[in-house]
Structure 1
Amino acid sequence: MSDDPEPTRNISGGSEGGGAIVDVEPGVADTRAEAVVDRLGERYWQKSYGGQHAFVSLVRTILSQNTSDAASQPAHDRLMDRFDGDDGDLATALASAATDDLVDAIRSAGLYNQKAAVIQRVASHVLSEYGSADTFDRYVREEDAHEVRDTLLRLKGVGPKTADCVLLFAGGRGGVFPVDTHVHRIYRRLGIAPPDGDHEAVRAVLEADVPPEKCGFGHTASIQFGREYCTARTPACLDGPDACPVSELCDRVGVDTQTGTVIDPAETIGDE
């Protein structure tokens, strides 16, 4: 069903994807966003996240920028095999690595020259500001989440989604709902976020309308839903309302089920 060139399984989902399965008490959702997250959590997984090493999570998320898990995960695995040895700190190894060696390790992730430069710049910053990757990890876990986010966003090459993924998967922070391309598309199409909202506007709506303990699996389960059902070009609703598990919660902004036309929700503004 999916037209997204990614693995069928979100790497953060299921029992093998990190985090811990949690029981969420059933109840009446206070917002439509919460109702969607509840539905997707029941369909896929309800998990809490945290526990990844912050610097490793940061590097992993940088590699995932503008590419799929199928491309970025092998690059991450090769990078870790080559540079994360037993004889030192990963940040030290990456900051001092020959650029050609780093590029060779992450080539499958795409934009490898750009990503290698970002990784080495971030590694050097971590060493100069915190002394080691482990100290940086403690900073991410223990300091105020807003301060940590602002610190990460000041790093050239680190955007909001990358910063939020580090806060979620490493810091285990509640109330953090990273917005990737799937989340951005889905919640504007649902009519929950403004049709012309950028990633930060969508994040603001979701973090306001979804309880903090549900934001983490709201993010990862939404990605799975975006791969299986609410794809960019051929969403399941084109096959009829019964084809989508959240059909009655969706405004289908930008989707004309009669003609089969699918456009970006922002393009619907002013059409009335």
Structure 2
Amino acid sequence: MAEDPEPAVNISGGDSGGGYETAFDGDDPESRAEAVVDRLGDLYWTKTYGGRDAFECLVRTILSQNTSDTASQPAHEELLARYDSADGDLARTLADADQQTLAETISSAGLYNQKSERIIAIAERVVAEYGGEAGFDDFVKDEDPATVRETLLDMGGVGPKTADCVLLFSGGRGGVFPVDTHVHRIARRMGVAPADADHEGVREALEAAVPAEKCGFGHTAMIQFGREYCTAREPACLDDPEACPLADACDRVGVDTVAGDVVDPAEAGPTHD
């Protein structure tokens, strides 16, 4: 089965991708990871995130699991067109939705039967425990971040990356650096996270080394960098190290520019200090 094509622009970045343009101090970074994030900000954007509706953000992130924006964004738009009710409580509408109809509505996102079941179950829980969208939104934005994350992870189908995206894009929580496949690959390849770290290990390394206020745009800009330059199989440096704008900041773990080989950083051994 062919992979979903990557869209040209990260939907959370660019001029219309949400968030607020913000200036950050880029002088004298205290870690290599912060220096990399500063460079990514110069290359793409520096933003502060937060304010999205928490339940819709959660649904949007579930739709994006194991697929690309190209496939999941139309599914999100179709879902809103069918289920966004007059009273604005999407959670209540989806809690009462027919699973098969919802599955057909979000079919472009892939794994639609599984995702429709998850969305309905989560909607039922949001209505039962928080009274609907508004109560859930207050919980995500006002409760202790660790409590919110633990609660989200207790919901079926919500993993660390999904929980962290809700904390970042809805709750506006600083110090949250969601780790998707791009971030996981790039942080280890560049040597700012251990080569053998899993997704949680990369998250912990980045959140410890990057100032809280820079984690949000670090996440979205690193995804864009992964799409344009540091791809999984053919990073820009493979044929020409100078083709990558961050070449001088990268350890190229798992990339052999002489032999022309690319392997997962974990197969290449530990990074150096």
Ranges of 4+ aligned residues in structure 1 off by more than 3 Å: none
Pairing 1:77–2:77 present? yes
> In structure 2, how many angstroms separate the alpha carbons of the residues matched to 1:88 and 1:201?
38
Flag structure 2 segments of 5+ consecutive residues without an equivalent: none
Cα distance per residue 1:67-123 (max 9 Å; x no partner) = 000000000000001000214521111111111110011000000000001101110
What is aligned with 1:240?
A: 240
The residue type equivalent to 1:70 in the other structure is T
What is aligned with 2:263?
A: 263
The residue type equivalent to 2:193 in the other structure is A
What is aligned with 1:190?
A: 190
Q: Is the 8 A contact 1:19 1:47 kept in 2?
A: yes
Pairing 1:62–2:62 present? yes
CA drift at 1:247: 0.8
What is aligned with 1:90?
A: 90
Task: Give the fraction of aligned pairs with identical amino acids, expressed as a percent.
Answer: 65
Q: Is the 8 A contact 1:50 1:171 kept in 2?
A: yes
Q: Is the 8 A contact 1:4 1:227 kept in 2?
A: no
Flag structure 1 segments of 5+ consecutive residues without an equivalent: none
For 2:147, what is the secondary structure of its paired residue?
A: helix
CA drift at 1:4: 7.5
Pairing 1:209–2:209 present? yes
> In structure 2, how many angstroms separate the alpha carbons of the residues matched to 1:32 and 1:235?
20
Root mean square deviation, CA, Å: 1.2
Q: Is the 8 A contact 1:4 1:231 kept in 2?
A: no
What is aligned with 1:8?
A: 8
Of residues 78-87 and 218-227 in structure 1, the stretch that sits farther from structure 2 once superposed is: 78-87
1:48–1:8 Cα change, 3 Å: same
> In structure 1, how many angstroms separate the alpha carbons of the residues matched to 2:239 and 2:38?
23
Q: Is the 8 A contact 1:140 1:170 kept in 2?
A: yes
Cα distance per residue 1:190-236 (max 9 Å; x no partner) = 11111111100000000000000100000000000000000000000
> In structure 1, how many angstroms separate the alpha carbons of the residues matched to 2:72 and 2:246?
30
Cα distance per residue 1:12-65 (max 9 Å; x no partner) = 111201110001123111100001100000110000000100000000000000
1:88–1:222 Cα change, 3 Å: closer
Pairing 1:250–2:227 present? no
CA drift at 1:129: 0.8
Cα distance per residue 1:145-192 (max 9 Å; x no partner) = 011001100111000000000000000000000000000000010111
For 1:39, what is the secondary structure of its paired residue?
A: helix
For 2:56, what is the secondary structure of its paired residue?
A: helix
The residue type equivalent to 1:262 in the other structure is V
Q: Is the 8 A contact 1:22 1:48 kept in 2?
A: yes
> In structure 1, how many angstroms separate the alpha carbons of the residues matched to 2:225 and 2:206?
16
Q: Is the 8 A contact 2:239 2:260 kept in 1?
A: no
What is aligned with 1:20?
A: 20
What is aligned with 1:200?
A: 200
What is aligned with 1:156?
A: 156
Structure 1-normalised TM-score? 0.96
Pairing 1:227–2:227 present? yes
> In structure 2, how many angstroms separate the alpha carbons of the residues matched to 1:121 and 1:261?
44
CA drift at 1:241: 2.0
Structure 2-normalised TM-score? 0.96
> In structure 2, how many angstroms separate the alpha carbons of the residues matched to 1:236 and 1:187?
16
Matches within 5 A, 1:144-183: 144-183=144-183
